[in-house]
Amino acid sequence: MPTNPQPSPASLRELLLERSLGMGFTRARITDVPPTGPGSQAFDAMVRAKRTATLDWMASGASVRRHPKTLLPNARSALVLGMDYAWERPPDPGGLTGKVSRYAWGRDYHNLISKRLRKLCRDLRQHGVESYWSVDARPLVERAWARRAGLGYAGRNCMVIEPGRGSWFFLGVILVAASVAPDPPLKHGMLKHCGRCTRCHDQCPTSAFTGDGQLDAAACISTLTIEHRAVIPASFATRMGRWVFGCDVCQEVCPHNHRPPSAIEQDFAPRPGHAWLDLARVLRSDDEALTASLVGSPLRRPKAWGLKRNAIAVLANLGTPEARREILRVLDHPHPVVSGQARQALHRMDGLTRR
């Protein structure tokens, strides 16, 4: 299929920004493509320091992160996009329920954003411009590209924060084989916009932060409840509170998020029962049925046995007789992690009872 002549840099910039906003992205900025990929050195240092827990896949792709033109040899510019997801949390239903991280209330952002990025790349191809898209799972450090493009600065909590607009947004990057006038990064960073505030560090339930902009993934509730593939250690399970999937504390306490932009993407609106999980239902559900009920949701990531493990940890923290009875139901669950978490939970609860 023939393509149109490649547009001028000014026309291409207008096209990129106009199409992006028309597809529902609420933030869009452009940067150049440097010889060394943004954030690659810091990312590799994090891997060498073993702050990636059991996320072994993060060690791969180091060469590509350092040399982004491996992905698109003629890359000259990068379009960095953000999509807000700051829906208001539904009221706490109480009872045997657990909190879910805000990003997982609706449709899986990987699917939604990647679909739109692919469409934007097809549009670019029609204008004679080659491109390469990335959202979270490819060897580009999206947060570093976002900082370079001026979408925000690197906060103490490792998030990209736009002053006054917060950090509740997903990121996507498109490398573009054409030169487009770049946007400047923010003039000031953490020292200016975070100042002396350390709320994210002070209120982290598991003390997972090891320094400004540094996180030990092995201690992070999000890692423990989503990516961890074993029994959650008691030392962390006791501090999970009611977080059954992910954790938002470091964003909830950030002053820049006190008045976040209202999300406009309906697909990220909270599905019924997804902001607060019914823990008894999770444990009583057949594994296949539970998995099927979560099609298209990020909640599928830890698999049925992982969600049940998390539910057990939260039930133990609730500590009620009803919670204990639900845990007893899965004491003989065929998955060793589920039964192991149940044994640990009952041991914890019995120990507290004796006191």
Beta strands in the chain (DSSP E): 27-32, 77-84, 97-100, 131-134, 153-154, 160-161, 169-176, 209-211, 214-215, 243-245, 276-278
pLDDT above 50: residue 145:
yes
Q: Report angle CA 51, 52, 58 to the nearest 5 degrees.
A: 135
Contact 352, 319 (CB under 8 A): yes
User: What integer pLDDT is reported at residue 354 of this predicted model?
Assistant: 47
Residue 230's alpha-carbon distances to 34, 74, 177, 237, 337, in angstroms, are: 40, 43, 43, 12, 6
- Give how far Cα 246 sits from Cα of 103, 116, 211, 271, Å: 9, 25, 21, 16
What pLDDT, on a 0 to 100 scale, did the predictor assign at position 215?
Answer: 92
Cβ-count burial of 156 within 10 angstroms (0-12 exposed, 13-18 middle, 19+ buried)? buried
Lowest mean pLDDT segment, chosen from 13-17, 187-191, 351-355: 351-355
Distance between CA atoms of 75 and 177, rounded to whole angstroms? 4
Higher pLDDT, 72 or 352: 72
What are the distances in angstroms from CA 122 to CA 7, 116, 118, 127, 132?
15, 10, 6, 9, 10
286 catalytic? Reply is no
Q: What is the pLDDT of residues 194-247, one digit of tens each?
A: 999 999 999 999 999 999 999 999 999 999 999 999 999 999 999 999 999 999
Nearest to 338 by CA among 276, 295, 293, 290: 290
Interval 150-165: pLDDT, tens: 999 999 999 999 998 9
The answer to which of 3-17, 120-134, 277-291, 292-306 has the lowest mean pLDDT is 3-17
Greatest distance between any 2 Cα atoms in the chain? 77
Sheet holding 131-134, edge to edge: 27-32, 77-84, 169-176, 131-134
Give the pLDDT of residue 262: 78
Domain range list for the chain: 9-87+104-193, 208-354
What is the pTM for the complete model shown? 0.92
Q: Is 235 exposed, middle or buried (0-12, 13-18, 19+ CB in 10 A)?
A: exposed
Strands 97-100 and 243-245: what pairing? parallel
The whole-number pLDDT of residue 127 equals 94
- Out of 123, 136, 267, 287, the active site residue is 136
